[in-house]
Structure 1
Amino acid sequence: MKILCYTSFTFSYLNRARVLFQTLRQHRPDWELAALITDKPPEGFVFDPASEPFDRLVWASDLGIPNFQSWLFKHDVVEVCTAVKGPFLHQACDWGFDAVIYMDPDTAALSTLEPLEQWLSEHDILLTPHLIDPNDDHAAILDNDLSASRTGIFNLGFVAIRTTGEGARFARWWNDRLLNYCYDDMPNGLFVDQRWCDHVPALFDNVKIIRDPGYNVASWNLSTRKVSVEKDGRILVNGAPLRFWHFTKLGAVGDSMTKRYAGQNYPVYEIWSWYRRLVTAATDPAIPERWWAFGAYDDGRPIAKQDRVLYRERTDLQQAFPNPFASGRGSFQEWLEHEGA
């Protein structure tokens, strides 16, 4: 089976994406790996795709999204790195691959992912739910069960499709939804791409919900997943081989949630320590922390979230200011200072 695996990120997450690609290369050297980047390199950083651990580079600006500058401005960094996943997946269905897999950049493969290929030979769409076992503890229910109810039953840090049949139909539908409705707006039923995929088992046939505990291990499911290490070095989760781990929110928040639910399950901390070392080794000091080229107006002033929300809600502003990133006379920025206040 010919498989393309991609991830979506900005340069501030290049270190994590490098680790993902390095671990995928180790365990699935036959997969083609693609980087989808919605960013521009920061000044002083020399980006050489040929030296990176991926095979294919796609800039979000080359996906053919209509009115790209205007569309991009409507999203913050998390929203846009999620939104471009749909157009990429849809277009990749025509690139000659049997299947396409998406994985978040803060993920690492820890053993062979061959079972995914077997499932993709039998199913058109693969999804991993946040939870595969119910929590009984009150705090865990609040943190994990109710969180999944708000943000989506499935974690879209992973999705895999066949490029024909229902997989292709899903990719086209996801493309349309993410181009127009990929926002962090939970009061209106949106949490980027995840809430949309709550509909997938109802809208599409031949869907496989992966309930194997070795897939998409993360802080939100450690309350029901026990990690152990065998004498031969194999890492197991509830007795099943660990396949890939989603190291979401590397830092204080991730540490807090991991400690809360890992408790004395010490192999968890060893895995996190291993991942931190890899990310540190993959970090280029020339990339400023939290760098994103589209996080500021042309004059360098940061773009406030409310500026983006106002712009996306007003078609008259979109028509008047097709490049809302511009600064100076006649710009959206100037309009905000005088009219939008």
Structure 2
Amino acid sequence: MNIIYTVCNRTNLAHALALADSVLQHQPDDVFYIGLVDSLPTDKLPERVKLIPVSELAIPDFNGMAADYYDFELLPAARPWFALGLLQKHPECVRLTFLSPTVILKKSFDSLLDPDSEMFLTPNISAPLKQSPILDDKRILNAGMFHSGSWTLRPSEKTTAALEWWAKRTIDRAHFDLCNGMNTDQLWLNYMPVWIPALKTLHNPGWHYGLNAVLNKNLTANGNDYKVDGQPLISLDFAGLGHFDPIWSDHAALVTENKVFQALFMEYQRIVIRKKQELEFSGEPAFGKYADILPNRLMRKGIAAKLKELTTYIDQF
């Protein structure tokens, strides 16, 4: 049994359902789960999508986490806990894959996963970045070498121990606080090669194409045939585009670097809007501190940068 899962609340449930459609199309033999960190009626969810609510997980002091984290921090903090919960619920699982709600599949990814590896991680970059005022190598180091939007593991003593270690650290060390060495769940992925020697990094150019890739990889289209550096496009990640992401929303302007990617994003937005209209959910998520952070965010960051320039100038004297 292979399981693919995502984690969301009402804010990105429509994105999760768009992902579900692509999984059912390209990985039809895999079981798809939505890990829901919210309190919502589930009668409007498609029957083909399985649901596991956060209330079913054995997270120590989840109420404390919900009170301490913003909702956009709580979601990634819960990801390894959902992995452990799904493996406990399905001991017959032989492959577990996490995909963030902003991912969609364009082809099956089975051919990427060799049988000798126990875990597969997605690198943020596979080569030094081309020069850009929007994104540079240092920012990638701050964010983490591996993209937390996708990973796969085969259940074993080593991978389960790594998940447990990771999960315990997200209880109180999964804030978005780069200055204090935290970046939600993501920086802990840097340690996975230490825990799991039989680990493979997926460098296929068609895998997980997003804002992390547009500077170095060329996405092209010939009708509905999409290729990245000559290889078939397998998956896309629209993190930071149309939905707040603590890392990638800072780099949303990169979408214009590739017109094919930009067109695919506009198509994706139409799908998400239709899903939202079908769901009719509104209001704030039930868990996590709510922050309406997207409006005017870039303007606020620009003002803060100007104030920093001023204080730096004053400090010189």
Alpha-carbon distance in structure 1 between the residues aligned to 2:219 and 2:118: 30
- Structure 1: 5+ residue runs without aligned partners? 297-301, 306-341
Aligned to 1:110: 106
Aligned to 1:221: 213
Aligned to 1:25: 24
Question: Following TM superposition, by how much is the alpha carbon of 1:53 offset from its aligned partner in structure 2, in angstroms?
Answer: 4.4
Aligned to 1:187: 179
Matched-pair contact (CA < 8 Å) for 1:222–1:258: no
Question: Following TM superposition, by how much is the alpha carbon of 1:30 offset from its aligned partner in structure 2, in angstroms?
Answer: 0.4
In the alignment, does 2:132 pair up with 1:132?
A: no
User: CA 1:112–1:146 in structure 2 vs 1: closer, same or farther (change >3 Å)?
Assistant: same
Alpha-carbon distance in structure 1 between the residues aligned to 2:291 and 2:251: 30
Match of 1:47 among 42, 45, 51: 42
Secondary structure of residue in 2 paired with 1:128: strand
Aligned to 1:154: 146
The residue identity in structure 2 corresponding to 1:6 is Y
Match of 1:59 among 53, 57, 73: 53
Question: Following TM superposition, by how much is the alpha carbon of 1:273 offset from its aligned partner in structure 2, in angstroms?
Answer: 1.8
Aligned to 1:4: 3
Alpha-carbon distance in structure 2 between the residues aligned to 1:238 and 1:14: 32
Question: Following TM superposition, by how much is the alpha carbon of 1:286 offset from its aligned partner in structure 2, in angstroms?
Answer: 2.6
Question: Following TM superposition, by how much is the alpha carbon of 1:138 offset from its aligned partner in structure 2, in angstroms?
Answer: 4.7
The residue identity in structure 2 corresponding to 1:5 is I
Question: Following TM superposition, by how much is the alpha carbon of 1:110 offset from its aligned partner in structure 2, in angstroms?
Answer: 0.9
Alpha-carbon distance in structure 1 between the residues aligned to 2:260 and 2:287: 39
Backbone CA RMSD of aligned residues: 2.5
Alpha-carbon distance in structure 1 between the residues aligned to 2:171 and 2:276: 31
Secondary structure of residue in 1 paired with 2:213: helix
Secondary structure of residue in 2 paired with 1:287: coil
Question: Following TM superposition, by how much is the alpha carbon of 1:9 offset from its aligned partner in structure 2, in angstroms?
Answer: 0.4
Question: Following TM superposition, by how much is the alpha carbon of 1:157 offset from its aligned partner in structure 2, in angstroms?
Answer: 0.6
Secondary structure of residue in 2 paired with 1:11: coil
User: CA 1:234–1:194 in structure 2 vs 1: closer, same or farther (change >3 Å)?
Assistant: same
Aligned to 2:314: none
Aligned to 1:244: 235
Higher alpha-carbon Rg: 1
The residue identity in structure 2 corresponding to 1:268 is F
The residue identity in structure 1 corresponding to 2:146 is F
User: CA 1:272–1:71 in structure 2 vs 1: closer, same or farther (change >3 Å)?
Assistant: closer
User: CA 1:277–1:250 in structure 2 vs 1: closer, same or farther (change >3 Å)?
Assistant: same
Alpha-carbon distance in structure 2 between the residues aligned to 1:260 and 1:12: 23
Secondary structure of residue in 1 paired with 2:38: coil
- Structure 2: 5+ residue runs without aligned partners? 294-317
Matched-pair contact (CA < 8 Å) for 2:240–2:251: no
Question: Following TM superposition, by how much is the alpha carbon of 1:83 offset from its aligned partner in structure 2, in angstroms?
Answer: 1.2
The residue identity in structure 2 corresponding to 1:34 is Y
User: CA 1:169–1:252 in structure 2 vs 1: closer, same or farther (change >3 Å)?
Assistant: closer
Question: Following TM superposition, by how much is the alpha carbon of 1:295 offset from its aligned partner in structure 2, in angstroms?
Answer: 5.0
Matched-pair contact (CA < 8 Å) for 1:125–1:166: no
Matched-pair contact (CA < 8 Å) for 2:240–2:250: no
Question: Following TM superposition, by how much is the alpha carbon of 1:22 offset from its aligned partner in structure 2, in angstroms?
Answer: 0.4
The residue identity in structure 1 corresponding to 2:211 is S
Match of 2:267 among 265, 270, 274: 274
Matched-pair contact (CA < 8 Å) for 2:8–2:16: yes
Aligned to 2:281: 287
Question: Following TM superposition, by how much is the alpha carbon of 1:271 offset from its aligned partner in structure 2, in angstroms?
Answer: 1.0
* More displaced 10-residue stretch of structure 1: 20-29 or 85-94: 85-94
Question: Following TM superposition, by how much is the alpha carbon of 1:267 offset from its aligned partner in structure 2, in angstroms?
Answer: 1.6
Alpha-carbon distance in structure 1 between the residues aligned to 2:31 and 2:197: 27
Question: Following TM superposition, by how much is the alpha carbon of 1:303 offset from its aligned partner in structure 2, in angstroms?
Answer: 8.2
Alpha-carbon distance in structure 2 between the residues aligned to 1:189 and 1:126: 24
Matched-pair contact (CA < 8 Å) for 2:97–2:151: yes
Alpha-carbon distance in structure 2 between the residues aligned to 1:146 and 1:255: 17
User: CA 1:165–1:255 in structure 2 vs 1: closer, same or farther (change >3 Å)?
Assistant: closer
Number of residue pairs matched? Answer: 287
Per-residue CA deviations over 1:240-293 (Å, capped at 9, x if unaligned) read 111111101223987994554643x4322221122112111111363226x312
